[in-house]
Amino acid sequence: MKRFVAAVTAVTQLCIPIAALAATPPVESAVAPEAPALAEPVLTEATAQQSAGALNAKPDAGGLTPCLLTCYLGPRVGTEYNEGRSVATMEWISFVFFPARIISGVKAYQGTTMTEWALDNAIDARPIPPPKGSATAPGGAAACFIGACLGPRPAFERNEGRRLRTKEILLFVPVVNIVMAFVLGLEAYHGKTMSQIAQDEGLDG
């Protein structure tokens, strides 16, 4: 009898692990997660602005130098510096002695164009396309006034058919001119070129 009880106990102990193993739910096969889909590249606002101001820009366009040139020497000096047009000696003289701008006014009155003036002063380090407009009445009192107040570039380019910008006209308004000078300086700081501005704002023609 004792042998029978011992045999039953042994069989019972052997069956319990087998039953527990059978009751364990099967492990599901691991499924590799799907690779996340790559989103399309998004053009940020800063990149868009840089692309918008890249027309004919030199590799190192933008920065503090063209910003300061715009604020101190004239509204188009910095944006044209971003294209490779340096500062003329007369512009430095006019910065030190403002009445010297009357010389630029006289030249503008006589119908001098920006292309002629840049060639005479050898300030273009790389090709810069001239204004595409056609001036109906180059020179005159209006060109002289613009040259004496805003500097030679707006006046000489006007003689080639490139109109003044609204921001440049606002430079004649007291107090507002301080804000506009800051805005124009920021354009040059961010690498804007005059060629791009003229195209965007339809200044030529």
What sign for the dihedral angle of Cα 145, 150, 153, 157?
Answer: negative
Structure confidence at residue 4 (pLDDT)? 45
How far is CA 70 from each of CA 1, 73, 91, rounded to the nearest angstrom? Answer: 113, 6, 12
Dist. CA 128–CA 72, nearest whole Å: 23
Structure confidence at residue 41 (pLDDT)? 42
Dist. CA 5–CA 33, nearest whole Å: 54
Q: Please provide the DSSP assignment of 6-34 as one string.
A: HHHHHHHHHHHHHHHHHHSPPPPPP-PPP
Q: Are 67 and 188 in contact (CB under 8 A)?
A: yes
Contacts of 105 (CB under 8 A, 6+ apart): 143, 144, 145, 147, 148, 155
Domain edges within the chain:
52-201
Q: Are 74 and 197 in contact (CB under 8 A)?
A: no
Structure confidence at residue 167 (pLDDT)? 96
Structure confidence at residue 133 (pLDDT)? 72
Q: How far apart are the first and last CA of the chain?
A: 120
* Tens of each residue's pLDDT in the chain, 205 residues: 445 445 445 444 544 444 444 444 444 444 555 655 544 444 343 344 444 445 888 999 999 999 999 999 999 999 999 999 999 999 999 999 999 999 999 999 999 999 999 999 999 988 888 887 776 678 999 999 999 999 999 999 999 999 999 999 999 999 999 999 999 999 999 999 999 999 999 998 7
